[in-house]
Structure formats: structure tokens, C-alpha cells
Copies of this chain bind each other. A is one copy, B any other.
């Protein structure tokens, strides 16, 4: 059901998608759909939940233990590729999450923070390993930046994917992330 709903939301947005369409795409009757959900909004919640699950499961492969700059770069590379793979899903979530009820939204945001937390861990390991010397606040914001830069590839695709291939994007972003502007002083 979720797969079908994602396609529909991607195509027409949450509000323009009818419950009938969701049921049809899932191969259910409308009556059966309402055995699984109580509200149309539940579908959105399930969709968001499923997307986060996909993202998280794909990110499991990321090595958070080694704590070297190389493994950090590999982690970023991996994450960006996952975001490329799931860009439709991520775009949907970005645009529709606000339609979640006041109850469901914090739950979803919590999951996001968990994912940001993965990058925090990755960076912290580097600090513990003595490869980096960043304070907590810098670590957290850096993690958020990496996280958003991954999503950016999807939600600003209209601007980015015209100019860069995924490989170029990963390479340049990683470079800018590491070198900063100061790395390019004349």
C-alpha cells in the first residue's frame, strides 16, 4: 500500500490524491483500506514512517565505528547515494510532512534526529580518535549540514541535477565540506 501511495503522492501530492486512488493502487477496495487505517492522514504517517525505515535500513551499511576521515568521507558518499536512490520518497516527505497531525509530526521529526545522530556519531568517533578537534555545537551543525546537503540533491534537483552528475555532486560537496573556502585562498 505504501509503495503505491508514495507514487501517487509524488505525482499529485497528498491532498490531490484520493483515498480511492490509494486503495486502488494498493489493490484493495476502499472498504478494506479503512480496515488498515482510520484516517487518510494515517496513510501519510505510514508513508513517512516507511520512507524513514528505508533510509535507515540503507544507512545501516555505513561504518560508524572506524572513526577516520576516510570512513567519514565514505559515510557521506554512501548517504548521498542513498538520497539519490530515494529522492522521490524524500521529496514527498519534505513536501507533505507538514500535513501530518500534531501527534504524528514529532514522531517523524524524532526519526530525522536519529539519522542526523548517525553523522554526529561518525564525526565524534573522528574526534575521539584524535583525527579532528570539533566542539559539540560544531559537530551537531556539521551533521545537520551533511544531512540537508543529501536531501538537497533531491529537493533541489531542478537546479542541481542539471549542472552536476551525482559523482560530481558528491565530490565537490565533500571537498567544500572538508576544505571550506579557506582551502581556496590565493
Contacts and interface: CB of A to CB of B under 8 A. Distances in A.
Given A133-B185, A184-B138, A186-B133, A160 B178 contact: no
B181 A181 contact: no
A176 B176 CA distance: 10
Interface residues of A, number: 49
Nearest to A106: B158
Given A15-B99, A141-B172, 10 more contacts: A15-B16, A69-B181, A133-B186, A137-B163, A137-B172, A138-B172, A138-B176, A141-B169, A148-B156, A182-B183
29 contacts: A13-B98, A13-B99, A15-B16, A15-B99, A16-B99, A72-B181, A109-B158, A130-B186, A131-B186, A132-B185, A133-B185, A133-B186, A134-B184, A137-B164, A137-B172, A138-B184, A140-B163, A141-B164, A145-B149, A145-B176, A148-B148, A148-B149, A148-B152, A148-B156, A177-B180, A178-B180, A180-B180, A180-B181, A182-B183
